Every structure is written in structure tokens, then in C-alpha cells.
């Protein structure tokens, strides 16, 4: 089998851990597989590099910053190849550029435009275990880009798709995808499997996987196994063929999981005149500034004016307020208020779309714990409430109980 593996930064935090992972890669090779492994930067390297850049420049140049950040993954991929060679395995490291990861030009959040698999495949054919630096690629003009935080997952799925690999395995410090964040909900349970759509919603609303990697897996139908790099558990298979009806427990519990996200800030623009074009004039400049907005709520207008509420990440709050300010003045609105003490709490399940009553059960469970809901949004397979951050653990536990998510899967 041709297998693409990915190991995250916490699994590679020091030299011993690098050697431990090398042992795991070697085992997969010994089992007769051809192995391509994508690695993240060791431990907190990426944060440290960002910190360094911020100490020499107020606004580090985007192109320079990406080259700097790409070095974190070069450290881990070269060390991994050395460790494997010492163990007697033929191995070669490749930077993203050498591996043929082609991207667009948006520094810091580049999208993979294609994978030229030639070099990886020729190394594999020569018998090498190929170690690819994750999180990075190269533009048409030969500039180095990075893919956004957590981008190594995306590198791995893209390579698996590009090589037509048999499977993609993402190894991390948890042993799979859980019904909720186990740090908040001690009774959370590992899922054996989950569908792409559900996983995409969970990842977009707080679960630790990079949503772009799920999108990529969905588009190219690459099954992704998420498992621990420290133990030998079964992990969770993310794939396109979850049979909702093959599982009694899941028929009763059409909620598959709960996502929580505390990197949330809310902005409300007060007293916006209610006429065509207002929402566009508010959100266009935010889009231009590359700020993504979510949970958009507009009140029905009473006296010809309305309030417009939306969320951004806390990291984007200051910038979003800067961008919105001139628009608010031009529109003659009464000003803005912001709140960075909220969290997103979501229930996700593809079975919810054709069964009524999920929203009311969610609201009842929160009400019974006296948890106030700030705003609500939904998709076909998700219901999200903004709640106070200090109550998010209680709220997640209440929902986990209300939807009986600790019931075993079979
Ligand atoms: N090293 C990068 C980060 O910390 C990419 C990754 O870990 O996937 O965001
Ligand atoms: Mg990392």
C-alpha cells in the first residue's frame, strides 16, 4: 500500500519524540508499505518564530514571514530523515517546494493549487521513505508560501490525493475525533468513524483539525484516519460512506458531536438604516481585509433601522473594528459595541436535517442549566449558539447528556 502519514508538532516536540515517530514510520515500512510522511514543526516552533518576527518588526513583511515560518518544518523533516537513516532505512527529506506543492500567492494562508507528484514518486520508487515538510508550498514565481495555522494536515491530504495514495493517516496527541472536547466534557467518547460533511462542520466550529484538509479529503475522496502517535488505538476514520442507518445508537442520536470554540469576538453595529446595500457595504471591506465573519445576525427593523451582529476571531477583532469604523460613520449608524467573552457552542449531525426537534432540545438543555443564549445560527446539519465563555464547559456537558452522546456506538 502507498500510505501518506502526517505527524503533528506535539508528537515531534524533542529529539526523543522525533526518534519515537521514526520508529513508527519504520514499522509501517516493515509492514511492506511505501510511506510518504508529512511533518509539522517541532513543538511550539511556529509560535516562537512568529514571536521572533514580531520582535524585529511591527508588521513583519508577509513574504519574509512565510520563508521564516517554513523553516520550522524543514528542521523536523531533515531530523526525521536523519533518524530513519541511522536506523538503517533509506530516507530523504523534501521541502514543500521540492515535493511539488504548488500554491496561490496569499502569504500566510495560501491555498494549494496542485501537487506535482514527480519528485516524491521517483524517491518512493527508489525505495526511500520520503519525509515532506508540511504547511508550505511554492508559487508560480518561486516564492515560498505557508498554508495557515495547522496547515500540515492539508499538505498530507493534498499529497495523498495527488499520489492517489491508498490512505492518509493523521497522527496527533489525541487518539481520534471525540464527541466533544474531552478537556471540557470528561465523558466524551471517541468516534470510530465520521462523515466528511459532519467533520467539516465540527472542524470549522472548533474541533482541532484543519477544515481545509477535510474539504480536500471530501473533494478528492481521500479517507483520513486520525489516530494517536503515542498509542496504538483504532483512531477515527473520516470518510464518505458513513451509514447512518447501520447503527442503532446513531439512529437515536442523530447528533454526532459537539464543537466548542472560544476564539470568538462579537461585533454589533447599532442602528443601521434598513435599505438595500447596507450589508454589502459593511462586509465587503471586511472581506477585502481578509477577515472572515460568521454567525451573522440582522434584527428585523422596527423604526427603519436595524442592528447587525457578526463574529470574527478574537485575533481579528481589533483589525475588524478598524475596518468597520469608517463604514459605520458613513452609514450614520449609532456606533459599534464588541464583546470578546463569548464562545461558540455547536451540535453537528447529518441526521438532524430530516428530523425535527433538535433545536428545541438544545435550547431546553441550556435553559435547564440557566445558560443564556446570545445568538443562534444554523446550517442543515449544525445548530450554533453563542454563550458566555465561562459557561461553555457546563453547556457542552449539558448537551452531551441531553443528546446521550456517551452511549456506545454499536
Ligand atoms: N507548524 C504549523 C502550525 O503550527 C503547521 C502545522 O502544525 O500544521 O500551525
Ligand atoms: Mg503545529
Say if CB 69 and CB 146 are below 8 A apart: yes
Which secondary-structure segment (H or E) carries 79? helix 62-86
What pLDDT score does 251 carry? 42
Question: pLDDT at residue 67 above 70?
Answer: yes
Buried b (16+ CB within 10 A) or exposed e, 392-406: bbbbbbbbbebbebe
Question: pLDDT at residue 253 above 80?
Answer: no
CB-ligand 1 contact for 135 (6 Å cutoff): yes
Question: pLDDT at residue 250 above 70?
Answer: no
Nearest ligand 1 atom to alpha carbon 47: 4
pLDDT, tens only, 198-244? 999 999 999 888 999 999 999 999 999 999 999 999 999 999 965 55
Say if CB 118 and CB 175 are below 8 A apart: no
What 3-state DSSP class applies to 219?
A: helix
pLDDT, tens only, 339-398? 999 999 999 998 888 888 999 999 999 999 999 999 999 999 999 999 999 999 999 999
Q: Where are the chain's structural domains?
A: 2-173, 265-339
Distance 165 CA to ligand 2 centre (A): 24
The yes or no reply on domain 2-173 and CATH 2.160.10.10 is no
CB-ligand 1 contact for 211 (6 Å cutoff): no
> CA 211, 377, 237: angle at the middle one, nearest 5?
30
pLDDT, tens only, 385-408? 999 999 999 999 999 999 999 886
What is the rounded CA–CA span in Å between residue 376 and residue 347? 12
Percent of the chain surpassing pLDDT 90:
86
Please choose, from the candidates 241, 244, 243, 239, the residue with its C-alpha nearest in 3D space to the C-alpha of residue 352.
244
CB-ligand 1 contact for 40 (6 Å cutoff): yes
What pLDDT score does 211 carry? 94
Say if CB 158 and CB 219 are below 8 A apart: no
Please choose, from the candidates 120, 39, 125, 32, the residue with its C-alpha nearest in 3D space to the C-alpha of residue 76.
39
What average pLDDT does range 157-181 have in this prediction?
A: 95
CATH topology of domain 265-339: VC0802-like (3.30.2130)
Distance 330 CA to ligand 1 centre (A): 40
Say if CB 188 and CB 181 are below 8 A apart: yes
Distance 7 CA to ligand 2 centre (A): 10
Question: pLDDT at residue 281 above 50?
Answer: yes
CB-ligand 1 contact for 349 (6 Å cutoff): no
What pLDDT score does 243 carry? 55
CB-ligand 1 contact for 41 (6 Å cutoff): yes
Residue closest by Cα to atom 6 of ligand 1: 150
What pLDDT score does 242 carry? 57
CB-ligand 1 contact for 117 (6 Å cutoff): no
Full-prediction pTM beyond 0.85? yes
Please choose, from the candidates 144, 2, 175, 172, the residue with its C-alpha nearest in 3D space to the C-alpha of residue 73.
144
Distance 151 CA to ligand 1 centre (A): 6
pLDDT, tens only, 182-192? 999 999 999 99
Nearest ligand 1 atom to alpha carbon 152: 8
Mutate to test the pocket of ligand 1, among 40, 155, 203 (most ligand atoms within 8 A of CB): 40
What is the rounded CA–CA span in Å between residue 212 and residue 147? 10
Amino acid at each position: 500500500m502507498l500510505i501518506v502519514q502526517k505527524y503533528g508538532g506535539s508528537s515531534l516536540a524533542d529529539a526523543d519524540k522525533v526518534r519515537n515517530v521514526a520508529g513508527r514510520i519504520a514499522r509501517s515500512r516493515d509492514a511492506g508499505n511505501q510511506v510518504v510522511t508529512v511533518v509539522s514543526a517541532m513543538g511550539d516552533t511556529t509560535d516562537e518564530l512568529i514571536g521572533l518576527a514580531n520582535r524585529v518588526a511591527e508588521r513583519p513583511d508577509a513574504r519574509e514571514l512565510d520563508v521564516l515560518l517554513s523553516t520550522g518544518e524543514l528542521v523536523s523533516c531533515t531530523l526525521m530523515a536523519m533518524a530513519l537513516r541511522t536506523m538503517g532505512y533509506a530516507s530523504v527529506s523534501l521541502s514543500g517546494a521540492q515535493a511539488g506543492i504548488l500554491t496561490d500567492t496569499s502569504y500566510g494562508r495560501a491555498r494549494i493549487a496542485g501537487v506535482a507528484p514527480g519528485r516524491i514518486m521517483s524517491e518512493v520508487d527508489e525505495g526511500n521513505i520520503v519525509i515532506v515538510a508540511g504547511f508550505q508550498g511554492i508559487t508560480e514565481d518561486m516564492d515560498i508560501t505557508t498554508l495557515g495555522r495547522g496547515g500540515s494536515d492539508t499538505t498530507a491530504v493534498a499529497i495523498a490525493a495527488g499520489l492517489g495514495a491508498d490512505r492518509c493517516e493523521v497522527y496527533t496527541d489525541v487518539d481520534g475525533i471525540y464527541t466533544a472536547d474531552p478537556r471540557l466534557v470528561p465523558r466524551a467518547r471517541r468516534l470510530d468513524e465520521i462523515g466528511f460533511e459532519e467533520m467539516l462542520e465540527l472542524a470549522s466550529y472548533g474541533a482541532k483539525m484543519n477544515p481545509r484538509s477535510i474539504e480536500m479529503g471530501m473533494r478528492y475522496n481521500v479517507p483520513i484516519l486520525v489516530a494517536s502517535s503515542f498509542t496504538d488505538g483504532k483512531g477515527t476514520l473520516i470518510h464518505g460512506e458513513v451509514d447512518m442507518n447501520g447503527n442503532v445508537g446513531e439512529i437515536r442520536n442523530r447528533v454526532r458531536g459537539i464543537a466548542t470554540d472560544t476564539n470568538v469576538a462579537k461585533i454589533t453595529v447599532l442602528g443601521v438604516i434598513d435599505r438595500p446595500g447596507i450589508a454589502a457595504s459593511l462586509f465587503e471591506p471586511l472581506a477585502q481585509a481578509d477577515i472572515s465573519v460568521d454567525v451573522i445576525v440582522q434584527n428585523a427593523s422596527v423604526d427603519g433601522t436595524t442592528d447587525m451582529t457578526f463574529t470574527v476571531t478574537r485575533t481579528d477583532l481589533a483589525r475588524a473594528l478598524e475596518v468597520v469604523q469608517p463604514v459605520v460613520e458613513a452609514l450614520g449608524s449609532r456606533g459599534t459595541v464588541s464583546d470578546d467573552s463569548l464562545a461558540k457552542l455547536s451540535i453537528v449531525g447529518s441526521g438532524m436535517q430530516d428530523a425535527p426537534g433538535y433545536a428545541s432540545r438544545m435550547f431546553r438543555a441550556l435553559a435547564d442549566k440557566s445558560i443564556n443564549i446570545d445568538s443562534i445560527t444554523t446550517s442543515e446539519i449544525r445548530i450554533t449558539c453563542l454563550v458566555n465563555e465561562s459557561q461553555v464547559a457546563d453547556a457542552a456537558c449539558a448537551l452531551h447528556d441531553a443528546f446521550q452522546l456517551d452511549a456506545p456506538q454499536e
